Structure 1
Amino acid sequence: MSVFALSMTLIFVAFAVFISIWQKLGLEKDLFIGTVRSAVQLLLVGYVLQYVFHSNQPLIVILILLIMTAVATWNVSRRNKSLSGVGIRIGAALCTTEIITVGLLLILNIIPFTSQYIIPISGMTIGNAMVVASLYLNQMSRELTANRGEVETLLALGASARQAVHPLLKRATKSSMIPTIDGMKTVGLVQLPGMMTGMIIAGASPLEAVRYQILIVFAFASSAALTSIMLSLLTYRLWFTKQDSVI
């Protein structure tokens, strides 16, 4: 794609800005900032990845994965500032999900041990886990707010904190996985995913692109389950005091 063709894609942003002004949505500033940030960030990442792919240094790859995980952790934790210590738990869940998912792909020789495969797949895995973590924590907060009386009654009857919130944890876990499961059900019918589309545009065989997309879909399902379950184990105490009272 030429620079001129790429610059013409700003028409889509201009259209969104026009709608925002027309409907008085007040999103013009956010759209402008988002446009500039996404373009700058992606260009920088492109240059960095070009260097990393050519050097293929394991330490650089690990550093990039740590940065990805740290940014994802910060993005989720800043939306849940009221929960003390939530950041380290989110980070632990994301790191564990990344290690297990990509580790299995490498151990089973599904993908080669090269930065060209590890970094893109890790980025998609961490990004998916980040969304799941955010959905889980938001849903759990809503569940506890809506069912506070029920939880306090169970606590008063002698239930432990874990027992009192167990039904809420199950609902929050299921809710956080709905987008991933719905995506699995409709992939290829409602949408052609980005990885598959990118490979096809780049000239790869559609069947080869489909194989890699299936890999990603299955990895997403695993990472979503791992992330939500780990967070349910690591974070439920954050909504209680040391005396097992609801905060």
Structure 2
Amino acid sequence: MELEWAVEFLKGMIKPVAALAVVAMAIALSYFQKLGLEWEMAYSIFRAFLQLSIIGFVLDFIFNQENAIWILMAYLFMVSVAGYTAGERAKHVPRGKYVAGASILVGTGITMFLLVVLHVFPFTPRYIIPVAGMMVGNAMTVTGVTMKKLRDDIKIQMNLVETALALGATPRQATLQQVKRSLVIALSPVLDNAKTVGLISLPGAMTGLIMGGASPLEAIQLQIVVMNMLVGASTVSSIMSTYLSWPSFFTKAYQLETNVFSAD
């Protein structure tokens, strides 16, 4: 009995191992095209294999628990990793990792709370953890782009911002256009994906359900919920990141903090 799970796991890994053939094709193409990506491809696939294998065992354990603390621990872990990753993208934003983490936490937390209160999803690990993972992943990408774009735009248009400040505008008023531009650029991929979902590709949640035996109508219903929550969480997180990051761009005297914009 103790070895049955290991045998079943190894049997299930036959297809993933067979799928390495397409990775070998990509590595071969990289070699012949002299791209120099062979080792990075191999390392990326190995890391993905290792991470997914570990998380599979962890989720199997968590799904069998009824204590809500496991849900919160998994959620906070995902938010922490996402905040660090988004902060790395916007590394020139002061305290970027904390800003990104707080923004992602607020955006995904509010969205998840509404979904649970409205009984869209039950508060169980099997539902909450995968849903939270999708929201946190999208919020991470959007938040990182928003923060980086906002800082870069202000740096490029420092003269315009300083002129507005000299005329009596508040920091928020002086950077209103830069904030709008960064939000539009960051959220455009999410909105474009919502516009074309089902027409160009079938999203992961929908594909997984169909391949698992669910009817296409059931898969569509879940995917609609997923798209709604991704738009909501991404929008709240990105807007929150602008409110939390822009004060660090200015001094207490409402002047641009030149140290923030001097780095490349």
Q: TM-score, normalised by structure 2?
A: 0.89
Q: Does 1:245 align with 2:230?
A: no
Structure 2 SS opposite 1:189: coil
Percent identity between matched residues is 36
What residue number does 1:64 align with? 74
What residue number does 2:6 align with? none
2:236 and 2:242 mapped to 1: Cα distance?
A: 10
Who wins on radius of gyration, i.e. which is larger? Answer: 2
1:242 and 1:32 mapped to 2: Cα distance?
A: 50
2:12 and 2:241 mapped to 1: Cα distance?
A: 44
Please identify runs of 4+ aligned residues in structure 1 that moved more than 4 A: none
Q: Does 1:115 align with 2:125?
A: yes
Contact 2:88/2:96 (8 A) holds in 1: no
Q: Aligned runs of 1:98-247 on 2, under 5 Å?
A: 98-243=108-253, 244-247=255-258
Contact 2:93/2:151 (8 A) holds in 1: no
Structure 2 SS opposite 1:55: coil
Letter in 1 for 2:91: K
Superposed displacement of residue 240, structure 1: 2.5
1:24 and 1:242 mapped to 2: Cα distance?
A: 52
1:86 and 1:26 mapped to 2: Cα distance?
A: 32
Deviations 1:166-225 (A, max 9, x none): 110011111110011000100000010001001110111111111111000000111111
Count of aligned pairs: 247
* Further displaced range: 114-123 or 51-60: 51-60
Give the CA RMSD over aligned residues: 1.4
Letter in 2 for 1:87: K
Q: TM-score, normalised by structure 1?
A: 0.95
Gap runs ≥5 in structure 2 = 1-10, 259-264
Q: Aligned runs of 1:22-37 on 2, under 5 Å?
A: 22-37=32-47
Contact 1:125/1:219 (8 A) holds in 2: yes
Superposed displacement of residue 131, structure 1: 0.8
Q: Does 1:53 align with 2:63?
A: yes
Letter in 2 for 1:44: I
Contact 2:94/2:245 (8 A) holds in 1: no
1:111 and 1:163 mapped to 2: Cα distance?
A: 40
1:238 and 1:24 mapped to 2: Cα distance?
A: 44
* Further displaced range: 237-246 or 22-31: 237-246
Letter in 1 for 2:256: S
Gap runs ≥5 in structure 1 = none
